[in-house]
Amino acid sequence: MYILFLPATGLLSTILPKFVGRKLFGYQFIVYSTLGLGVLAFGVWAHHMFTTSVDPRLKASFMAVSIAIAVPSAIKVFNWITTMWDGDVRLTAPFILCAGGISTFIVGGVTGVFLAVIPVDVLYHGTYYVVGHFHLIVVGIIPFLMIAASYYWYPLITGRWYDTRLARFQAVLLIFGSFVTFVTLTVIGGLGFPRRQAVYPPELQFGQQIATIGAYVIGLSALLWLYNMLVSYWQGDVVKTTDPWNLKATNQFTREWRWFERRLVETYDIEPTEPTSTRRSYAPEGEPKGFTEGSVGNVAQTVTRNAGLAAIGGFVGTVLMAGGLGTAWLVGVLDPASFGEIAEIVGLPARPLFGAVLFLVGGTVTWPLLFLAFSEYLPGRLLFETGLVFATVISTGFAVAFYTGQRGLALVGYLGFVLVAHWAYGLGLSVTYQYLESRRRARFWGVESDD
């Protein structure tokens, strides 16, 4: 599998920096981790044979290497994520596929670490857990980066543009289908779903149906990609710029694109494209030093201040949300005992009061921090619109976690109250945060003007 996987990591390390405006973080570590993966890969093949009669001492050695190989893989993931940190992210199809590839690699890699342990592998070797883990890599990061590469170099190879909107839709569809299919297979495999058998427990049929739907979504996305590639070859807009991806703006105009520029200049007499502005992509030796020059100290202060404002907004939103959930409890569509399960998960007594306290903590701390982290990437022209989108997304998790078997009108009422309550939370969080931030800025500029 590593023969297939390593080229995908190379493509990701090449393409990802172009769409976040930063050079690859930790280039040397990426190279060394690739060498480490190549060497360690020779010592993992027998982890496919843990259920055979191989000498236990040999099994133990292959188990150790199979666990150790997760280290260079984790180094790559860390460097990819750090490359995106504080970058100028452009949500193009290649970037979406790169981000999706990292996600599937994390899930597929973590589930693989468990299989590297002999006792766990003996239990799950004959289940769909192995199938889900394996295909999160083979139908995850590997084809994702193949398609991302086709989008990235398509203007260079063909001289034409593909349908970029369709490409983004296809990328999201492919990632969604892959997660639905193979995460579902991993879950039902963990529940004991056998592989290599045509007969399986009937209670797991629903999981198979969900995975089947996800597989059809993957097939549809593959057809959309093929259609986009073929039709755009004849009907796509002609590339009229020597820098299609605006790589000169971050000094990442690499050799193949310089060749492309010379070809357009010499053959079609097109003037070289120059960026309207440039900014330095990440270079460690050029990082500012000291608390007054944008160092970690300033970043920590900013994060702490914003987190405090968001926590106040989260508390206001949680109070507003409690009104909607309390109404749902009064009309009988929400069982308060389900809050006790939250407390039980963290080791506390299964009492609704403890669960409610944890729910308040989550609404005041966890969700506001996530909102700060992802608000820039959520749709919405105004912040309260972004808050509504964020609340709608997290309401799906609440609806699943607190579902207690409602049917018919009770289910409709339950889902309706959950959605409205979360909208109240999103409005309370975003509006309060925006108000406090505007007050803070007003005080800041007021002090500045007095000086």
Q: Tokens 């729910």 — which residue?
A: 359
Whole-number Cα distances in Å, 143 to 3, 134, 367: 14, 13, 33
Please check whether the domain covering 2-239 is classified as CATH 2.50.20.10: no
The per-residue pLDDT for range 26-56, each reduced to its tens digit, is 888 888 888 888 888 888 887 888 888 877 7
Q: pLDDT value at position 177?
A: 94
Burial track 181-210 (b if 16+ CB lie within 10 A, e otherwise): bbbbbbbbbbeebebeeeebeeebeebeeb
Comma-separated ranges of CATH 1.20.210.10 domains in the chain: 2-239
Whole-number Cα distances in Å, 372 to 161, 360, 383: 35, 18, 11
pLDDT averaged per 10 residues, the chain (length 451): 84 93 86 84 82 80 85 90 86 94 91 88 90 90 94 94 93 94 92 85 88 94 95 91 89 90 87 75 44 43 76 87 82 78 68 80 80 70 79 82 80 86 87 83 57 38
Tokens at residue 10, please? 């190379």
Distance, CA of 422 to CA of 435 (rounded, Å): 20
Tokens at residue 384, please? 């309260």
Q: pLDDT value at position 71?
A: 87
Distance, CA of 312 to CA of 418 (rounded, Å): 22
Distance, CA of 187 to CA of 286 (rounded, Å): 46
Q: pLDDT value at position 165?
A: 92
Q: pLDDT value at position 300?
A: 56
Burial class (CB in 10 A: 0-12, 13-18, 19+), 313: buried
Q: pLDDT value at position 192?
A: 87
Q: Give DSSP secondary structure letters for 116-183.
A: TSHHHHHHHTTBHHHHHHHHHIIIIIHHHHHHHHHHHHHHHHHSB---HHHHHHHHHHHHHHHHHHHH
